[in-house]
A and B are shown apart, each in its own frame.
Chain A
């Protein structure tokens, strides 16, 4: 019972982070900032939701439950490996595609104008 409650709590927290990512995806001003919401909000929330389920599947403390929980954790590891990489690949492609970033007034873009790098 306690295990169920904890896993529900984890799933609820994951959903909260999913909400944050979804709202950020709509509200943020430019492509680069939206990428923050898209790439990271999804990672942690997927991890929380799936580990919540892994905990729930652990109810009987049998061998097969352990294997099933490991299988669910494999998804977590997979997301943790691939999500930053695809985030990076997409943001880099956006930069090379000439999308101008919005920069705060008190900072400068050290990387230079993306469209000036045209070959």
Chain B
């Protein structure tokens, strides 16, 4: 079984490497992406048409979530699969059964400083970090940012609860059930908007057709579609960030954590 896997990996790798020779040179101004084929250039099109196509000032966001939305959907799915893989591996066979903490905690070492200094700082910082994370998600159109970055920070704020108290306090707010549901929901939102476009007889993830759904014109609908998709990405990234921390820090037992 191991050998079959190895052969598959080597064959795929060789196949991919053999295609490298056909790529344009690095930074070649005449490559299809830069110079274009004939008089049509991809990057020129993005730079000149993004504003009138989608009303999104930030070209990168438009390319990421609209023009190449298919790619980003599977990036989100990769994150989702990574998280689910970690949960599946660690939760199914936690070392030493489900009893007892992973790291025995010595109360005399802790003193009062953990509770006072780190606890109070984190208590004050966490809501501020959360509002900043939501700000990053919401302003993906205007500033660099969006679902991935905001999701990482929102997940980090929950990790901070786990660091300043213990994992139980964090799990009380964001339980295992909730983070798995939220991770699935994020991917479902992204794929669901794509499917909605498909049902309305347009291409997958072609948000322009959703103008009836958002009660706007087709251009604004693309802008809103990008935002909705970013929210889905943020859901998945938040949930998976916290799920990975919770499982790795407690070795899959979800009891005391670090």
Interface, chain A (partner B; CB < 8 A): 78, 81-82, 84-85, 88-89, 92, 96, 117, 119
Contacts and interface: CB of A to CB of B under 8 A. Distances in A.
* Chain B contact surface mostly: helix
Interface in B61-108: 106, 108
Contacts of B121: 81-82, 85
Contacts of A84: 117
Given A81-B121, A81-B124, A82-B125, A88 B113 contact: yes
B106 A85 contact: no
B109 interface: yes
B109 A119 contact: yes
A91 to B, nearest CB: 10
* Chain A contact surface mostly: helix
B109 A117 contact: yes
B113 A96 contact: no
A31 B86 CA distance: 36
B42 interface: no
Contacts of A82: 121, 125
Interface residues of B, number: 10
Contacts of B106: 119
Contact of B118 (A88, A96, A119): A88
A4 B206 CA distance: 50
Contacts of A117: 108-109
Contacts of B118: 85, 88-89
B86 to A, nearest CB: 26
Contacts of A81: 121, 124-125
B27 to A, nearest CB: 34
A82 B128 CA distance: 12
A85 B116 CA distance: 10
A85 B108 contact: no
22 contacts: A78-B128, A81-B121, A81-B124, A81-B125, A82-B121, A82-B125, A84-B117, A85-B117, A85-B118, A85-B121, A88-B113, A88-B117, A88-B118, A89-B117, A89-B118, A92-B113, A96-B109, A117-B108, A117-B109, A119-B106, A119-B108, A119-B109
A20 to B, nearest CB: 25
Contacts of A78: 128
Interface in B124-163: 124-125, 128
